[in-house]
Amino acid sequence: MKTFCGRANPTTGAMEWLEEDENYDYHQEIARSRYADMLHDKDRNVKYYQGIRAAVSRVKERGEKAIVLDIGTGTGLLSMMAASAGADFCYAIEVFKPMANAAVKIVEKNGFRDKIKVINKHSTEVTVGPDGDMQCRANILVTELFDTELIGEGALPTYEHAHKYLVQEGCEAVPHRATVYVQLVESKRMWSWNKLFPIHVEAEDGEKIIVSPSEMENCPGVPSVCDIQLNQMSSSDFTILSDVVTMFSVDFSKPVRSASTYYRVQLEPVKSGKAQIVLSWWDIDMDPSGMINCTMAPYWVKSTSAFQWRDHWMQCVYFLPNEEPVLQGEKVHLTACRDEYSVWYKLQKARGEEENKADVRVESPVCRCQAHLLWNRPRFGELNDQNRTRQYIKSLMKVLKTDSVCLCISDGSLLPVLAHYLGAKQFFKTNHLEDKIKIIEARPELLTSSHLEDKKISVLVGEPFFTTSLLPWHNLYFWYARTAVTSHLTSSVTVLPQSASLHMMIVEFQDLWRIRSPCGTCEGFDVQTMDDMIKNSLNFRESKEAEPHPLWEYPCKSLSDPQQVLTFDFRKTVPQHCLSTEGSVNLLRKGKSHGAVLWMEYHLASDISVSTGLMQISNEKGNCEWNPHCKQAVYFFSSVIESETLSDLPSAVTYAINFNTKTGEIAMDFEL
């Protein structure tokens, strides 16, 4: 059997359906999965184990047999914990076939074959009865079906169904309860991911300000949550406007209702300011007493010093539909609306309770301005980055002439607007008609001279940025597009950026290494089968691939100097042959070489460059500052070299990097 996978072709920028081996999808799923991260989450595992032991004892104390239902067993971990805690029997449900197979192997290897039955079904398909999947209903319900937003993976409908059909009334649930917390903040940085700020253009005849149209100003945006590693957000990036309050909680030991609903709380702002953002996270109590608590609270809230890093559960940023001024001490109502899978928020001034109630509508906000569909959150942030814009303006000013015919190739770019504003004066002075921006709805290779009103292009610009790009070098599509429009360019055309370069650096991650690192044993259970499975999936295509990560969220330190490894000259067309390079990079600091980070830099003009990766190495220790709007490429080494001292450092890492001009992909190999 063959499967088709949608993927953007970096040489055409178009989505293509590629015929893939039937295993491709599943290998991707395993290789990029969060299972390793969960198995490394000591805090989570320890607390689940404690909660499960407590639940089994409570059932045993009542003189009952402990029958466990583990929905979404994954590796089988929680069922094995239950069996070890003395459960009489466990039904381990797993919908994802490769995982169910792995669970069977892991359960056997750990000697629980008689105690745990793995069922490869979605829980809603599971039957109960003498001929059913389960002999009888369970009296302990164990699950870990939560995402950063708590309910995004379908925990509510799954619980609703389980209580109706799969567990006994009054069952014990681990976790027992989940609670969602919120805090109201003002944050220019986070708000810049949701609204386009005025853009200041310093043209020769003074400053001009580009403001967004009112539909955009007033647009409620898209409802989807923005999940981030909030602990990487400096406290100087936001102002706290309210205390942390409980928004809602769910008791998993009782019937759960998944139907859309809303919750509301009254907040008394602790500070006056502009309410823009609701920060949110949750915790789970593993037992009814609340003594075993696992929390996602960020650093400024959490009291414990023992901090657990994890990537499978982060924190949520919700954008209010519009910013609302609030006054210290003047109460406001915050409403959380939710459907089965997601949550969104609104804020109202406290008025008569009835009056407010009438206002509550549970429909989720819909973007009316299109911009939120065109630009994702990091892209909004990038377009709002005044420093970056300044570099583009400076470069445009260098290349634009009064009679320039300018073509921009980039998705959702403001460059044409900037160019227009910069050129406006000249047009005006030379008494030309007001310049206009023409949007050509044609792919570059299909561009005709009539699109261009028979003019030749004298200035070709791009950021470059394309929404389909996954890895940094996929924006080299600009180069292919430039090649496709060659016949429409003047012989002395200026291309901005004139070139790009690929840079590479060896790093030690503070935490990100966990997501790809084998686990061996987890709370005493042998989960090596899972490690092997991940390794096998990573090697599925023989050559390992780099993966995109926004490194501002994942601290690392540089172990080598950054090195420029390839350059791409946009003034020329894409060559027929591959571009490859080999070399070595010296290790300068002791540490663990977890992998290489790669990013692109664009050379807009001879002395103006922008980096989509490293911004600077901030101190002696090698801590790195990354472009906060872009994902960088991370290539994890399959073996980690650790050096305690500089003298036992391997002096260098050798690399071979190949840019295949036919496919637009980069293959790489490293040797430590």
CB 333 within 8 A of CB 348: yes
285 binds ligand SAH (CB under 6 A): no
Beta carbon nearer to ligand SAH, 123 or 280? 123
Q: Which of 85, 93, 173, 383 binds ligand SAH (CB under 6 A)?
A: 93
75 binds ligand SAH (CB under 6 A): yes
Binding mask 171-200 for ligand SAH (x = CB under 6 A): ------------------------------
615 binds ligand SAH (CB under 6 A): no
Query: At residue 3, what are phi and psi to the nearest 5 degrees?
Result: -120, 155
**Smallest separation (angstroms) from ligand SAH to the CB of 372:** 29
158 binds ligand SAH (CB under 6 A): yes
**Smallest separation (angstroms) from ligand SAH to the CB of 250:** 16
**Smallest separation (angstroms) from ligand SAH to the CB of 604:** 45
Q: Which of 30, 38, 279, 614 binds ligand SAH (CB under 6 A)?
A: 38
Record the tokens describing residue 184, joined without a space. Answer: 């109201």
| 255: helix, strand or coil | coil
Which one from 20, 29, 108, 153 is the annotated catalytic residue? 153
Beta carbon nearer to ligand SAH, 128 or 203? 128
- Long-range contacts: 443-446, Cβ < 8 Å, 24+? 443/12, 443/13, 443/14, 444/409, 444/480, 444/481, 444/482, 444/484, 444/485, 445/12, 445/481, 445/484, 445/485
Q: Which of 10, 74, 273, 613 binds ligand SAH (CB under 6 A)?
A: 74
Q: Which stretch in 68-76, 267-275, 327-335, 622-630 sits in contact with ligand SAH by CB under 6 A? A: 68-76
**Smallest separation (angstroms) from ligand SAH to the CB of 77:** 4
153 in catalytic set: yes
78 binds ligand SAH (CB under 6 A): yes
Say if strands 67-71 and 89-93 run parallel, antiparallel, or are unpaired. parallel
* Residue partners of 239: CB distance under 8 A and separation at least 6: 185, 186, 187, 271, 273
128 secondary structure, DSSP code: B
- Calculate the CA 438 to chain-centre distance: 34
CB 418 within 8 A of CB 389: yes
**Smallest separation (angstroms) from ligand SAH to the CB of 116:** 12
152 binds ligand SAH (CB under 6 A): no
* Residue partners of 238: CB distance under 8 A and separation at least 6: 185, 186, 187, 189, 190, 277, 279
**Smallest separation (angstroms) from ligand SAH to the CB of 176:** 16
Output the CA angle 505-506-511, nearest 5 degrees.
120
73 binds ligand SAH (CB under 6 A): yes
Task: List binders of ligand SAH among 94-123 (CB under 6 A).
Answer: 94-96, 99, 122-123
Q: Which of 145, 270, 452, 470 binds ligand SAH (CB under 6 A)?
A: 145
Token pair 């911004």 is found at 615
Beta carbon nearer to ligand SAH, 99 or 178? 99
Half-sphere exposure of 414 (CA within 13 A, CB side): 26
Which one from 94, 144, 463, 601 is the annotated catalytic residue? 144
Record the tokens describing residue 542, joined without a space. Answer: 């023989």
Q: Which stretch in 92-100, 431-439, 458-466, 485-493 sits in contact with ligand SAH by CB under 6 A? A: 92-100
Beta carbon nearer to ligand SAH, 96 or 262? 96
CB 174 within 8 A of CB 253: no
Q: Which of 37, 144, 172, 287 binds ligand SAH (CB under 6 A)?
A: 144
Rounded-to-integer distance, Cα 143 and Cα 122, Å: 13
* Residue partners of 292: CB distance under 8 A and separation at least 6: 47, 50, 51, 54, 285, 286
582 in catalytic set: no
Rounded-to-integer distance, Cα 174 and Cα 181, Å: 20
Task: List binders of ligand SAH among 297-356 (CB under 6 A).
Answer: none
Beta carbon nearer to ligand SAH, 122 or 541? 122
* Residue partners of 215: CB distance under 8 A and separation at least 6: 368, 369
51 binds ligand SAH (CB under 6 A): no
Count, residues near ligand SAH per rule CB under 6 A? 19
Other CB atoms within 10 Å distance of the CB of residue 210: 16
Q: Which stretch in 24-32, 70-78, 106-114, 322-330 sits in contact with ligand SAH by CB under 6 A? A: 70-78
Task: List binders of ligand SAH among 7-36 (CB under 6 A).
Answer: none
71 binds ligand SAH (CB under 6 A): yes
The residue nearest ligand SAH at its CB is 72
Query: At residue 160, what are phi and psi to the nearest 5 degrees?
Result: -55, -50
User: What residue ranges in 327-361 does DSSP mark as E strands?
Assistant: 332-338, 343-349
Q: Which residues are catalytic?
A: 144, 153
Q: Give the binding site for ligand SAH (CB under 6 A).
A: 38, 71-75, 77-78, 93-96, 99, 122-123, 144-145, 154, 158
